[in-house]
Amino acid sequence: MPKAKVYITLKPSLLDAQGRVLLNALQQLGFETVQEVRVGKYLEIALQPDGDPRAQVEAMCQKLLANPVIEQYRYEIEE
Amino acid sequence: MKAGVIVFPGSNCDRDAYHALRDVLGYDTEYLWHADAPDLSQYGLIVVPGGFSYGDYLRPGAIARFAPIMDSLREYAARGGLVLGVCNGFQILCEAGLLPGALTRNLSLKFRCKPVYVRVENAETPFTCRYRHGEVLKIPIAHGDGRYVCDEATLQQLRRNGQVIFRYCSPTGELSDSWNPNGSVDHIAGVANEQFNVLGMMPHPERACELLLGSEDGRRLLRVH
């Protein structure tokens, strides 16, 4: 059964308020090599084996899963 | 005049809006259930209220925009009907593409619940024609995702067209980061569509209609007829 792994993050041009706080927290914990943190969403979507999973997931991202005004997405399909 | 308040699962300012529209403004007001898709042409104003529709799952407003009532609302707005989206309602209207831009997490990451000051930037819309240009209003906010963002081209267009309707400001009307409660770009608190019949704003005018509640600066905004 194909499984889609979808990653959604804020566009690089947008300030990620959560990522900024995590960056500070990590640096305070001594992880001084951390340069930037971006927080996103990770979704796993199980699909029926028939059809074109790539085309379906692309449409899902455009219609619902990501807001193209503020977010970017990428995905992998596992057979 | 007939007014409608849309009710989604998770709306929590629907009763505030209903009270303001019916008891303060005196409109013949009805709740509109999200799963219905009625003809809205007899209404003079539709309010998309605040709250957490569908639990804000995925993103605020992301699920609500597919509710059957939104088809009715799109048709109503396309014919020039007046639509006011407050807080979560603003988020929903942006997700639905009825307004430009999007609302993201407050820069502070904190839920901000307090009165703020906003400046009327365009007093020639159906919602703001009873205010003076530059007038400062005291209206409460209550949100965690209110940082308005849009791309640079959209921002230029909003400014050029006068679609920025409210900006966060100091009590005397100055713009500064310290009076911007969520980090919105250009201090934007409310925007309208190009036709000015759809307005979205994070502050809650329906909670600022009676002096007993601290301010009645929002009342004139709801007096659309």
User: A69–B62: do the CB atoms touch at under 8 Å?
Assistant: no
- pLDDT above 90 coverage of chain B, percent: 100
Q: Which stretches in chain B have pLDDT values below 50?
A: none
Count of structural domains, chain A: 1
CB contact under 8 A, B107 and A70: no
Q: Given the DSSP bridges, would you call strands B2-7 and B45-48 parallel, antiparallel or unpaired?
A: parallel
> Which domain covers residue A59, as residue numbers?
3-78
Closest Cα in chain B to A70: B102
Provide the pLDDT for residue A51: 87
Question: Domains in chain B: how many in total?
Answer: 1
Sequence letter at residue B115: P
Q: Which is nearest to B114 in space by CA: B137, B135, B138, B92?
A: B138
Look at chain B and count its residues: 225
Which residue range(s) make up the domain with B35? 2-222
pLDDT at A50 > cutoff 90: no
User: Which pLDDT score is estimated for B38?
Assistant: 97
Tell me, what's the ipTM?
A: 0.86
What is the CATH number for A43? 3.30.1280.10
pLDDT score at B111: 96
pLDDT in tens, B39-85: 999 999 999 999 999 999 999 999 999 999 999 999 999 999 999 99
CA distance A75 to chain B (A): 17
Would you call B204 a catalytic residue per the annotation?
yes
In degrees, to the nearest 5, what angle opens at C-alpha A69 toward C-alphas A63 and A73? 60
CATH at residue B95: 3.40.50.880
pLDDT reported for residue A1: 85
Count of residues for chain A?
79
Amino acid letter, B24: V
